[in-house]
Amino acid sequence: MNFSSINIDKKLLINLAIVFLITFIVSINIFNLSYNFGILSEVHGPLYLDIAKGLYENKFFSNFYNLIPENNIYTFQIGISLIHYLGILSFGLKYWYFFPILLLGILWSFAYIYFSRFLIKLKLDNSFFKNICFLSFFFQPYNLNQIAS
């Protein structure tokens, strides 16, 4: 993606980097709390990882640990398994989670830019208000559940 086509001033570009680092670090820590230490619950993430590992090992959509019946593999939510699969291809089976978390950090960074632009158009460009709103979007329970899974 060409950053010059987005027409961001230097302040927003610095904010982009800061938001990316914060979301990446927080997401890695939330994921580690759930995946490695069992502090946060994993709801459906292991099922998607199971399909991704099955795709990596068997080269077709299948279960790796047989967590779900074979006839339930093809669902509309299988796309996250493909993202996990790209993570396995990129970083290996041990560090597969870096890819989806990098993608998440990039998406949240661009969301921050467009949210900032929206607030500027509304003449609400108070950085405290903007950051509190954005943090409330990021730390909503559904998003934390998705990161933990």
Looking at residue 34, its pLDDT comes to 77
Q: How many CB atoms lie within 10 A of CB 147?
A: 23
Q: What is the pLDDT of residues 119-142, one digit of tens each?
A: 888 887 777 888 888 888 887 766
Residue 62: which region, alpha, beta or left (left: phi > 0; alpha: psi -120 to 50)? beta
Which positions ≥6 away from 96 have C-beta within 8 Å? Answer: 49, 52, 84, 87, 88, 90
Stated pTM of the model: 0.70
Looking at residue 6, its pLDDT comes to 54
Looking at residue 67, its pLDDT comes to 56
| Residue 123 DSSP class | T
Helix (H, G, I), strand (E, B) or coil at 67: coil
Q: What is the pLDDT of residues 78-128, one digit of tens each?
A: 788 888 889 999 999 888 889 988 998 898 888 888 888 888 888 877 778
